[in-house]
Amino acid sequence: MSSTVENALTTSFGSVEAFKEQFTQAALSRFGSGRAWLVKTADGKLVITSTPNQDNPLMDVSDVQ
C-alpha cells in the first residue's frame, strides 16, 4: 500500500488495522447480498458504508453523499 493511502486511512480511522476491522464489520453486517465500500466524500473525508444488492454509493439511495 502506498504511503499516501496508509496516511489517509490512519488519519480517518486511527490505523490501517482499525480500518480493516471497520470495513470487515460493514461487510459482515450487511444482511443478504450487498457490498462494503470505502468512499471519499465531497468534503474529502473517508467513510465506510455498505449497500444492498446492486446498489452503489453513486446512486441517489446511498446513505453517503
DSSP alpha helices (H): ranges in 1-65? 3-13, 16-28
pLDDT at 15: 98
Q: Which residues of 31-43 are buried (b: 16+ CB within 10 A; e: fewer)?
A: eeebbbbbbeeee
Q: Which residues of the chain have pLDDT under 50?
A: none
List, in sequence order, every residue forming a beta bridge with 40; answer none if it has no partner. 46
- pTM value is 0.83
Task: Give Cβ neighbours of residue 53 (< 8 Å, ≥ 6 apart).
Answer: 32, 33, 34
Judged on CB neighbours under 10 Å (0-12, 13-18, 19+), 50 is: buried
In this prediction, residue 1 carries a pLDDT of 92
The predicted pLDDT at position 46 comes to: 96
